[in-house]
Structures are given as structure tokens and as C-alpha cells.
Amino acid sequence: MPFLQIFVLALVQGITEFLPISSSGHLVLVPVLTHWPDQGQDMDIAVHVGTLGAVVLYLWRDIWAMLVGLGRSLRGRKDPGARLFWQLIVGTIPVVICGFAAKKLLGEEFFRSVTIIGWSMLLWGIVLWLADVMSLTVKRMEHMPWFDAIAIGASQVLALLPGTSRSGITMTAARALGYERSDAARFSMLLSIPTIVGAGVLAGKDIYEAGDPVMTQTALIAVALSFVSALITITILMSWLKRASFTPFVLYRVVFGIFLIALSYGWVQV
């Protein structure tokens, strides 16, 4: 795979993973818009692993609090860190179960459909805007009840629809429940950790068993590049959400969604 293609894929993944605009949808579209060969799901997951490193580094305090909390809970003490850990695990279970079922029932072509990505980008972008402008901003993540955690986690199932955006739908759910924008993004990023870890382990196993040193090197370069771009993007996103709304991302989704719909129906050519 040419270095330029690796660089573009890593940059696209790093920028879009934690923004509410669908990283997987953008990765699928890279070969469509550039006419490069499709990079395949293993490479998609490799660049996801790079963004995992970025979110772990950025949210290390939350992760450390969860680890310390688990240690305290083993000694019979209640701890908010342990509670957050189990909320993330329970919130991830629905998407894991549905994800395996969806891949078997629908097949890979469904998840790489430009038409579906375009409509999802458009419709779920509007839903994000409605949740953002109509909801109160009164809740903090530190006081999140189990119902809210499970509801936000379960919303990830909707992200199995290409173009929906895992981060976008979880932020939408959190905003609909009244959480502050930065807290909605923070909980969404924490929810990404178990999902990406699981997918990364499976992809790593496939790459290792393939025994292709070139593929292994390519994956490592992609991981490093997506890590750097994701860390920069997370920092900018969290700073933005402390003082502004999701509206720019909504506008992007609407415009890009309309473009993809027009592209898929042959109304425009690239």
C-alpha cells in the first residue's frame, strides 16, 4: 500500500473518530473518492487502534480512577471509578452482540454502501442538532445513573448502520438526556475504549496469522499516524465543546450527506 494512502487513511481516521461525523463512513469513502483499492477492514481497524492510544492518553485520569476504583471494590469498598468501569462494560454489551449478528446477516457490502452512508449522515446529523438545541444542559458525567449509562451505551447499536457515527449517536443520546456537551463527548470517548480494544485484538490476530511482514509494517505506520492526528483532534474538540455547540458538525453532516446521496444516485460524478 502506498505511503500516501496510509497517510490519508490515518489522517481521516484520526480526525473523524471522535467527531460526531462517522469515521468508518469516511474510511469507506476514501477509495471511492480517490479511486484507490479498498484498504479492507483490517486496515480500518488498525487506524482505529491508533485513535485508541490517543483517547487513553488524553483520558488517563479517568482510566486511572477506574483502575484504582476496581482495586478498592475488590476490598469491598464502593468507588465511583469502579462504578464507571462497569457502566462502560455493560453499555458495550448490546453493540458487541448486535455487531456479530449484523455482520453474519447483512454481509460486508452493506457496511460499505455509499447510499446508506449518505442517508445516515444526513438524517442522524439532524437528530444530533435537535438533541443539542432542545435539551437542557444540567447533568454531569460524575453523577450518571445506571439507566443513562446503559441507554447511551445501547445507542451504539444504531451506529452499526454505516454513516451513523458511534461517537455521534452516543453524544446525541447523552445530550438528549441532558448532559453537558463536554461530558457527553467524554463519556462517548470512554465508551469507545472497550469496543476498539475488542476489534483491535481480532484484527491483530488476523494480521499476525497472515504472516505478512509488509502488512504488519503498514499497520504499525497507520497506528502511529492516526494516534497523532487523533490526539490533536480530541484536544481541539474538547476545547470547542466547553464554549460552543455541535452545530458545525451538524452542518458538515448535512452537506456531506446530500453530496453522497447525489453521488450514489449518479447525480454527480467524481
- Taking only the tens place, the pLDDT of each residue in 113-148 is 899 999 999 999 999 999 999 998 889 998 899 999
If pLDDT is split at 50, 70 and 90, which confidence band does 192 have?
Answer: very high
Measured distance CA(39)–CA(46) in Å, rounded: 11
Query: What is the distance between the alpha carbons of residues 224 and 211, in angstroms, rounded to a whole number?
Result: 21
Q: How far is CA 53 from the centre of its chain?
A: 13
**pLDDT higher at 198 or 15:** 15
Cell matching residue 100: 456479530
Size (the chain), residues: 270
For residues 59 and 84, give the distance between their C-alpha atoms in angstroms, rounded to a whole number: 13
Q: Report which of 157, 210, 193 is spatially closest to residue 42, judged by C-alpha positions.
A: 210
pLDDT band at 1 (very low <50, low <70, confident <90, very high): confident
Output the pTM of the full model.
Answer: 0.91
pLDDT at position 211: 61
Query: CB neighbours of 255 closer than 8 A, spacing ≥ 6?
Result: none
> 3-state DSSP call for residue 179?
strand
Q: Judge whether 42 and 206 are in contact, CB under 8 Å.
A: yes
Please tell me the distance from the alpha carbon of residue 245 to that of residue 74, in angstroms, as a whole number. 40
Amino acid at 16: T
Please check the confidence at residue 215 and state whether its pLDDT lies above 70. no
The grid coordinates listed for 69 are: 476504583
Q: What is the mean pLDDT of residues 219-242?
A: 93
Rg (CA), the chain: 18
Average the pLDDT over 188-207 and give the result.
78
Bridge partners of 139, per DSSP, are 179
Q: In this structure, which amino acid lies at residue 254?
A: V
- Name the phi and psi angles at 139, rounded to 5: -110, 150
pLDDT on residue 183:
96
